Structure 1
Amino acid sequence: MSHSYCSNLLFALRLCYPHLGNSSCRRIMYSHSVSVLLHIILSSISVLTVTLNLLVIISISHFKKLHTPTNFLLLSLAVSDFSVGFVIVFLIFLIDGCWFLGADWCVFYVALSLVSTAASVGTVVLISVDRYVAVCDPMHYQTKVTANRAKICIVLCWLCSTVFHTVMLKDNIEHPGGFDSCAGGCTIYLPPLAGVIDLIFSFIIPISVIVILYVRVFMVAVSQARAMRSHVTAVTLQSSQKVNRSELKAARALGVVVVVFLIFLTPSFIVTLLAGFAAMSVSTFFAVLCLYYFNSLLNPVIYAFMYPWFRKCVKCVLSLQILKSGSSEANILEHLLTCFF
């Protein structure tokens, strides 16, 4: 009798909704220490991701001197990373494989994840194009890349991402929870064709464009560096113009962002692709998902190391100097003082 009771109790503990019996989804059982560690790690990543990217958003939005095409692209990337910070909150609820927030929130969680991911990929492509024009065609950069054009491209990037994934999730939006095989699940149905299209337009094409453009930028940067070492004052490139040193420095800084982005993005798409040919464990999906989301935390950290203006902005935001009258007009790029008042 005692053995039967223990077996039933153990079975109940493995269910998301014990009172529903076999109609309930099963939990992923972790040891207490592993469960606590996962919650601490994901919670920390979520809080830091939201906080650091919020600092980027406030800095670029507030200081008018930072309203450049390149910084608008960084702002878009920060918004997508900021959204990922909230996605991680939802991911915490799925650590044990049980979803208790309802079908509507499940669809919202997946939609926010897909839209923000696609928008970040699109923004990185735009950053690559921006650096390509700045380094490889510097004479026409000011006319080709303007603040208004950057804004239009960013809006189109987010709009296309939202529309495409709304269409892709159409069945789930119309019938939330309709594809769950058990209570406590968060199952999303994606048409096979939509998955292929998403792979092509969210990974294969963008990654190809990013790699091709940055290889070209790297080649020009190397040529410029050699010329500087040789004390050559004018270097003939494809554009027949000398590349501005600040543009090269920005290209290197953003190059770090792009490389880190590719390193963290690629595994998730590889696993997604392989899932169509072989069964993948939940832990594998969970691991690559966390790896990709961790990239959203790294971006503002990279800015802190690469951009003195960002460090200065953070000091001014945290010290509440931005609340002073006229602070938005301050020349944050000049002299890089501790603060502007």
Structure 2
Amino acid sequence: MSSSPGIRRREHVDMMYISIETAIALASVVGNVVVVLAVCVNRALRNTTFCFIVSLAVADIAVGVLVIPLAIIISLGFKTQFYTCLFLSCLLLIITQSSILSLLAIAIDRYLRVKIPTKYSTIVTQKRACVAVCLCWILSFLTGLVPMIGWNNRNAQGNLSSSSDIVCEFTAVMRMDYMVYFNFFGWVVVPLCIMITLYAEIFRAIRRQLNRRAEATCDGERYYRKELKLAKSLALVVFLFAVCWLPIHIMNSVHFFCPKCTVPKSAMYFGIFMSHVNSALNPMVYAFRIKTFRVTLIKISHRCILCKPAPPTRCPTGTPALTEKVDVNL
């Protein structure tokens, strides 16, 4: 295998990287397919909020189906034409960028739910949510395909003919100034800062409202615990996003600003699969912490996996609309 044309000798770290990436891809696809299936099965989940969550799940499924396999192929160093390799690299950016923008859309949606709860349903309609999802994907394609129109490393490859083959590596076709200035600073740092600002405002608004409720009603403690659970989930989302995406971009920045500095290959692999593992974590953060999803998943598991009817669940006889609203936000 090591003597095959266009394939470099595989080191032990390469095999470890491929194994870990394969496990992440499987977890990402299975987890996010279950999220989409749960929304399709339960009509109570088909609202504007879950429109953004489904968009995120679709992006994360694409990470497992396309991005990770392409990343593995590129890591093997096979030979192909320059623009073929560049297009494959751009696909990685498009799909991962759509995941980031979906996270930002969810943050904005949750911010609006907290700040304007009475006007939320009239402002954030299903149609507008679908338009926002389409804009996220269109913007992902536009930003991800920028290298195809000239911001690439073709000049650094010398006088290449249209039929010349190169060893396909991400750094061989992508310019680091694009990855650092445009992709990292413009489309990772900025969305991250916006999300941190939105979630900070959400924390402030929730605590202010809960303090008022605690003073006005005897159920204030119960409401506080439920809202605190939501606040912790939002903090976890921001934390995981930063932990998973910053390492690879920081290493790209080190490589760009300090060309003489060497980044270990194992560290680069760690940064790559950390950015991918975020797609496997998103179902747990956004879906499995929601009570309505848990109930739906139990029903799906009983019907499809265990091949028996789902256990009956008690339905509230008081205010079902209020109960459903609270569950969806938790």
How big is the shift at 1:55?
Answer: 0.9
Please list the CA deviations of residues 184-231 of structure 1 after superposition, one character each: whole Å capped at 9, or x if unmatched.
433453456644222333122211211111111111222234344x43
Counterpart selection for 2:274 from 278, 283, 291: 291
Normalising to structure 1: TM-score of the pair?
Answer: 0.72
Kindly indicate whether residue 243 of structure 2 is the aligned counterpart of residue 263 of structure 1: yes
Q: Deviations over 1:224-259 (max 9, x none)?
A: 34344x43349xxxxxxxx99977755543443233
What are the superposed Cα offsets for residues 107-146 of structure 1, whole Å, 9 maximum, x if unpaired? 4542222111111111111111111111122222122222
After TM superposition, the structure 1 = structure 2 runs for residues 194-233 of structure 1, keeping only pairs within 5 Å, are 194-195=178-179, 196-228=181-213, 230-233=214-217
1:263 Cα deviation from its structure 2 partner: 2.0
Q: Summarize the alignment of residues 179-194 of structure 1 with structure 2, pairs less than 5 Å apart.
A: 183-187=166-170, 188-190=172-174, 194=178
Which amino acid letter does the alignment assign opposite residue 41 of structure 1?
Answer: I
- For residue 27 of structure 1, give the secondary structure of its aligned residue in structure 2: coil
Cα distance in structure 1, aligned partners of 2:73 and 2:178: 27
Q: CA RMSD in A?
A: 4.0
Partner of 1:90: 70
Decide which structure has the larger Cα Rg and report it: 1
Give the aligned partner of residue 309 of structure 2: none
Which residues of 2 match residues 1-341 of structure 1 at below 5 A?
17=5, 26-27=8-9, 29-30=11-12, 36-86=15-65, 87-95=67-75, 97-99=76-78, 106-171=85-150, 183-187=166-170, 188-190=172-174, 194-195=178-179, 196-228=181-213, 230-233=214-217, 250=230, 252-279=232-259, 280-303=263-286, 305-320=288-303
Distance 1:320 1:112 in 2: 37
Q: Which residue of 1 aligns with 2:328?
A: none
Query: Does structure 1 retain, via aligned residues, the 8 Å contact 2:151–2:178?
Result: no
Cα separation, 1, equivalents of 2:198 and 2:11: 46
SS in structure 1 opposite 2:256? coil
Change (3 A) 1:83 1:143: same
Query: What is residue 329 of structure 1 aligned with on the other side?
Result: none
Question: After the TM superposition, which of the residue ranges 141-150 and 86-95 deviates more from structure 2?
Answer: 86-95
- How far 1:321 moved relative to its partner? 6.2
Deviations 1:6-62 (A, max 9, x none): xxxxxx95x663xxxxxx6753532xxx55544432222111111111111222234
Structure 2 match to 1:325: none
Indicate if the aligned counterparts of 1:59 and 1:313 stay in contact, CA closer than 8 A.
Answer: yes
Identity, in percent, stands at: 25
Q: Is the 8 A contact 2:90 2:147 kept in 1?
A: no
CA contact (8 A) 2:79 2:165 kept: no
User: Does the C-alpha gap of structure 1 residues 148 and 36 become closer, same or farther in structure 2, counting only changes over 3 Å?
Assistant: same
Change (3 A) 1:151 1:245: farther
Number of matched residues?
298
- SS class of match (1:275): helix
Q: Per-residue deviation at 1:318?
A: 3.9
SS at match of 2:173: coil
**Alignment CA distance shift 1:128-1:304 (3 Å):** closer
Q: Is the 8 A contact 1:303 1:310 kept in 2?
A: no
Q: What is the distance in 2 between the residues matched to 1:168 and 1:68?
A: 36
> Is 2:80–2:165's contact at 8 Å kept on the other side of the alignment?
no
Given the superposition, is the C-alpha separation of residues 316 and 172 from structure 1 closer, same or farther in structure 2, using an over 3 Å criterion?
farther
Structure 1: unaligned runs, 5 residues or longer: 1-11, 18-23, 235-242, 323-331, 337-341
CA distance in 2, matches of 1:181, 1:172: 20
- Structure 2 spans left out of the alignment, 5+ residues: 306-314, 325-330
Q: Distance in 1 between matches of 2:93 and 2:111?
A: 27
Instruction: Give me the whole-angstrom Cα distance separating, in 2, the residues matched to 1:313 and 1:37.
Output: 36
State the 4+ residue runs in structure 1 displaced beyond 6 angstroms.
100-105, 179-182, 243-248, 332-336
CA distance in 1, matches of 2:165, 2:87: 19
**Structure 1 position 75, deviation (Å):** 0.7
Task: Return 123-132 or 179-188, whichever deviates more.
Answer: 179-188
Q: Distance in 1 between matches of 2:121 and 2:228?
A: 16
